[in-house]
Structure 1
Amino acid sequence: MSGSVIGWIIELVAGAVGGNVAGNMMKQYDLGTVGNSIAGIVGGGIGGQVLQMLVGGAAGGGGLDIGSIVQQVVGGGIGGGILLVIVGAIRKMMGGQGPGG
Protein backbone atom coordinates (compact mmCIF):
# COMPACT_ATOMS: atom_id res chain seq x y z
CA MET A 1 0.00 0.00 0.00
CA SER A 2 1.49 3.34 -0.99
CA GLY A 3 2.22 6.10 1.50
CA SER A 4 -0.30 8.47 -0.06
CA VAL A 5 -3.14 5.94 0.34
CA ILE A 6 -2.21 5.39 3.96
CA GLY A 7 -2.06 9.16 4.41
CA TRP A 8 -5.59 9.52 3.04
CA ILE A 9 -6.82 6.78 5.37
CA ILE A 10 -5.21 8.53 8.35
CA GLU A 11 -6.84 11.84 7.36
CA LEU A 12 -10.27 10.28 6.90
CA VAL A 13 -10.18 8.38 10.20
CA ALA A 14 -8.90 11.47 12.02
CA GLY A 15 -11.70 13.47 10.39
CA ALA A 16 -14.33 11.02 11.62
CA VAL A 17 -12.90 11.25 15.12
CA GLY A 18 -12.72 15.05 14.89
CA GLY A 19 -16.32 15.26 13.71
CA ASN A 20 -17.57 13.09 16.56
CA VAL A 21 -15.53 14.97 19.15
CA ALA A 22 -16.84 18.31 17.86
CA GLY A 23 -20.41 16.99 17.82
CA ASN A 24 -20.13 15.75 21.40
CA MET A 25 -18.53 18.99 22.62
CA MET A 26 -20.94 21.33 20.82
CA LYS A 27 -24.36 19.71 21.17
CA GLN A 28 -26.08 22.44 19.15
CA TYR A 29 -24.23 21.20 16.03
CA ASP A 30 -24.49 17.46 16.79
CA LEU A 31 -25.73 15.45 13.80
CA GLY A 32 -25.74 12.07 15.55
CA THR A 33 -22.95 9.52 15.34
CA VAL A 34 -23.43 8.69 11.66
CA GLY A 35 -23.88 12.32 10.62
CA ASN A 36 -20.89 13.44 12.68
CA SER A 37 -18.79 10.67 11.14
CA ILE A 38 -19.80 11.44 7.55
CA ALA A 39 -19.23 15.19 7.94
CA GLY A 40 -15.95 14.45 9.71
CA ILE A 41 -14.72 12.07 7.01
CA VAL A 42 -15.41 14.60 4.25
CA GLY A 43 -13.93 17.43 6.30
CA GLY A 44 -10.92 15.29 7.20
CA GLY A 45 -10.13 14.64 3.56
CA ILE A 46 -10.47 18.31 2.69
CA GLY A 47 -8.66 19.58 5.80
CA GLY A 48 -5.77 17.17 5.38
CA GLN A 49 -5.24 18.23 1.78
CA VAL A 50 -5.47 21.95 2.60
CA LEU A 51 -2.92 21.60 5.38
CA GLN A 52 -0.62 19.63 3.09
CA MET A 53 -0.84 22.40 0.48
CA LEU A 54 -0.13 25.08 3.09
CA VAL A 55 2.74 23.28 4.79
CA GLY A 56 4.01 21.59 1.64
CA GLY A 57 6.97 19.30 2.04
CA ALA A 58 7.99 20.68 5.42
CA ALA A 59 6.65 17.61 7.20
CA GLY A 60 8.16 15.00 4.96
CA GLY A 61 6.23 15.46 1.73
CA GLY A 62 3.35 13.14 2.57
CA GLY A 63 5.44 10.13 3.55
CA LEU A 64 5.07 7.97 6.62
CA ASP A 65 7.52 9.68 8.94
CA ILE A 66 6.24 10.97 12.28
CA GLY A 67 5.96 14.57 11.07
CA SER A 68 3.76 13.59 8.15
CA ILE A 69 1.56 11.38 10.29
CA VAL A 70 1.07 14.16 12.86
CA GLN A 71 0.27 16.58 10.03
CA GLN A 72 -2.32 14.17 8.61
CA VAL A 73 -3.94 13.54 12.00
CA VAL A 74 -4.10 17.25 12.85
CA GLY A 75 -5.32 18.32 9.42
CA GLY A 76 -7.92 15.57 9.26
CA GLY A 77 -9.18 16.06 12.80
CA ILE A 78 -9.46 19.83 12.57
CA GLY A 79 -10.99 19.66 9.09
CA GLY A 80 -13.57 17.14 10.31
CA GLY A 81 -14.50 19.28 13.28
CA ILE A 82 -14.78 22.46 11.22
CA LEU A 83 -16.97 20.88 8.53
CA LEU A 84 -19.23 19.37 11.19
CA VAL A 85 -19.78 22.81 12.73
CA ILE A 86 -20.49 24.32 9.29
CA VAL A 87 -22.99 21.59 8.38
CA GLY A 88 -24.57 21.73 11.86
CA ALA A 89 -24.93 25.52 11.68
CA ILE A 90 -26.55 25.31 8.23
CA ARG A 91 -28.92 22.61 9.45
CA LYS A 92 -29.81 24.70 12.50
CA MET A 93 -30.46 27.81 10.36
CA MET A 94 -32.75 25.76 8.11
CA GLY A 95 -34.78 24.73 11.14
CA GLY A 96 -33.56 21.14 11.34
CA GLN A 97 -33.74 19.37 14.65
CA GLY A 98 -30.73 17.66 16.13
CA PRO A 99 -30.83 14.01 17.14
CA GLY A 100 -31.65 14.96 20.71
CA GLY A 101 -34.79 16.88 19.80
Structure 2
Amino acid sequence: MSIQTILGAIVIGAIIGALGRLVLPGRQPIGWILTIIVGIVAALIGTAIAQYVGVATTDGIDWIELVLQVVVAVIGVAAVAAIRGRERV
Protein backbone atom coordinates (compact mmCIF):
# COMPACT_ATOMS: atom_id res chain seq x y z
CA MET A 1 0.00 0.00 0.00
CA SER A 2 1.32 3.41 -0.93
CA ILE A 3 0.71 6.73 0.80
CA GLN A 4 -1.73 7.69 -1.95
CA THR A 5 -3.72 4.50 -1.35
CA ILE A 6 -3.86 5.14 2.40
CA LEU A 7 -4.94 8.78 1.96
CA GLY A 8 -7.56 7.70 -0.57
CA ALA A 9 -8.85 5.12 1.91
CA ILE A 10 -9.17 7.81 4.59
CA VAL A 11 -11.14 10.16 2.32
CA ILE A 12 -13.30 7.36 0.98
CA GLY A 13 -13.63 6.03 4.53
CA ALA A 14 -15.23 9.27 5.69
CA ILE A 15 -17.80 8.92 2.92
CA ILE A 16 -18.25 5.20 3.56
CA GLY A 17 -18.90 5.82 7.26
CA ALA A 18 -21.59 8.36 6.44
CA LEU A 19 -23.18 5.98 3.92
CA GLY A 20 -23.07 3.13 6.42
CA ARG A 21 -24.83 5.27 8.97
CA LEU A 22 -27.45 6.39 6.46
CA VAL A 23 -28.15 2.82 5.31
CA LEU A 24 -28.61 1.58 8.88
CA PRO A 25 -32.22 2.23 9.92
CA GLY A 26 -33.01 4.11 13.10
CA ARG A 27 -31.01 6.50 15.20
CA GLN A 28 -27.47 5.62 16.22
CA PRO A 29 -26.13 7.03 19.49
CA ILE A 30 -22.66 7.76 18.08
CA GLY A 31 -21.07 10.99 16.91
CA TRP A 32 -19.78 11.90 13.49
CA ILE A 33 -16.12 11.54 14.45
CA LEU A 34 -16.69 7.95 15.56
CA THR A 35 -18.71 7.33 12.39
CA ILE A 36 -15.81 8.57 10.27
CA ILE A 37 -13.36 6.37 12.18
CA VAL A 38 -15.62 3.35 11.61
CA GLY A 39 -15.82 4.31 7.93
CA ILE A 40 -12.05 4.51 7.60
CA VAL A 41 -11.63 1.08 9.18
CA ALA A 42 -14.47 -0.28 7.01
CA ALA A 43 -12.85 1.14 3.88
CA LEU A 44 -9.56 -0.54 4.70
CA ILE A 45 -11.21 -3.87 5.56
CA GLY A 46 -13.48 -3.72 2.51
CA THR A 47 -10.50 -3.03 0.26
CA ALA A 48 -8.58 -5.93 1.80
CA ILE A 49 -11.55 -8.26 1.25
CA ALA A 50 -11.91 -7.06 -2.34
CA GLN A 51 -8.22 -7.64 -3.00
CA TYR A 52 -8.46 -11.10 -1.45
CA VAL A 53 -11.33 -12.13 -3.75
CA GLY A 54 -9.71 -10.41 -6.74
CA VAL A 55 -12.15 -7.61 -7.56
CA ALA A 56 -9.98 -4.65 -6.52
CA THR A 57 -8.08 -4.56 -9.82
CA THR A 58 -10.90 -3.50 -12.17
CA ASP A 59 -10.81 -0.36 -14.32
CA GLY A 60 -12.99 2.58 -13.28
CA ILE A 61 -15.14 2.52 -10.17
CA ASP A 62 -14.91 -0.70 -8.23
CA TRP A 63 -18.60 -1.14 -7.43
CA ILE A 64 -18.15 -4.50 -5.74
CA GLU A 65 -15.43 -3.05 -3.53
CA LEU A 66 -17.64 -0.07 -2.70
CA VAL A 67 -20.54 -2.35 -1.73
CA LEU A 68 -18.21 -4.44 0.44
CA GLN A 69 -16.99 -1.28 2.18
CA VAL A 70 -20.52 -0.03 2.85
CA VAL A 71 -21.60 -3.44 4.20
CA VAL A 72 -18.61 -3.52 6.55
CA ALA A 73 -19.41 0.08 7.59
CA VAL A 74 -23.04 -0.83 8.35
CA ILE A 75 -21.86 -3.74 10.50
CA GLY A 76 -19.30 -1.51 12.23
CA VAL A 77 -21.74 1.34 12.89
CA ALA A 78 -24.32 -1.12 14.22
CA ALA A 79 -21.74 -2.73 16.53
CA VAL A 80 -20.46 0.60 17.85
CA ALA A 81 -24.02 1.91 18.29
CA ALA A 82 -24.97 -1.22 20.23
CA ILE A 83 -21.94 -0.87 22.50
CA ARG A 84 -22.50 2.87 23.01
CA GLY A 85 -26.22 2.32 23.60
CA ARG A 86 -25.51 -0.18 26.37
CA GLU A 87 -23.08 2.20 28.05
CA ARG A 88 -25.68 4.95 28.34
CA VAL A 89 -28.30 2.78 30.04
TM-score normalized with structure 1 length: 0.60
Unaligned runs of 5+ in 1: 97-101
Percent identity for Structure 1 against Structure 2: 24
- Which has the larger Rg? 1
* Amino acid paired to 2:85: K
Question: How many angstroms apart in 2 are the aligned matches of 1:74 and 1:24?
Answer: 14
1:77 aligns with 2:70: yes
1:99 aligns with none
Q: How does 1:89-100 map to 2 (within 5 A)?
A: 89-95=82-88
Question: How many angstroms apart in 1 are the aligned matches of 2:44 and 2:34?
Answer: 16
* Amino acid paired to 1:13: V
2:44 aligns with 45
**RMSD value, Cα:** 2.8
TM-score normalized with structure 2 length: 0.65
Unaligned runs of 5+ in 2: none
Higher RCO, 1 or 2 (CA under 8 Å, sep at least 6)? Answer: 1
